[in-house]
Amino acid sequence: MHSLPNHIQLQDKRVLLRPYQPSDLESLPALVFDEDIWRFMPNRISNQQELQAWAQTVEQGFAHGTRYTFMIVDRATGRLAGSTSYGNISLPDRRLEIGWTWLSRGYRGTGLNRHCKFLLLSYAFEQLKMERVELKTDVLNLRSRRAMQKIGATEEGVLRSHTQMHDGRRRDTIYYSILLPEWQAIKQRVFNNLAAQDA
């Protein structure tokens, strides 16, 4: 495989992950102009100019094969709930990163993100045949760190003064990973109820 498929769509009974499309821009201001989303992110979206810059980055990622951005859709309502991505894609090394994830206010803490991670991990390991999936976050983002631990990811270490943040702070970034030989045990232990729902 030399590149990811052009159109990846993943879903279970709760959530649909579909590729970003330019028409999504109309719906995004109501979701993304929220400071809480961007507290631990290197960049933020607080106005139309920053939203356009984000969209350009997303489209460049598709074009260069370095990032594949999904929109998260709540299947119960059909509404956009957020976004998540495959990024830092290295097919020769059989690795990629899951991240750049944000959820609008009404969907945080609802379990929707767990469904997203299950779909993304399943596809990465079972269809794309990745050997390694990486995740990272701000070392100060304790909620995200707990979530990564809960899905069975192994903490690998902290890269100090790793990323320049939009507020001027230098971020220490903590890395986690899941490896292909670990996936089936994690799937059964952590995601068994989700897999059973869609069996």
The neighbour count for residue 187, using CB atoms within 10 Å, is: 19
Residues 6+ apart with CB under 8 A from 111: 14
Element (H, E) at 187: helix 180-190
Per-residue model confidence (pLDDT) at position 197:
64
Query: What gap in Å lies between CA 112 and CA 16, rounded to an integer?
Result: 10
Q: Could you give the domains of the chain?
A: 10-197 (3.40.630.30)
pLDDT at 3: 82
Residues 4-16 pLDDT 10s: 998 999 999 999 9
pLDDT score for 51:
96
**What is the pLDDT, as a whole number, of residue 196?**
61
Ranges of the chain with pLDDT below 70: 1, 195-199
Please give the model's pTM, rounded to 2 decimal places: 0.94
164 forms beta bridges with 170
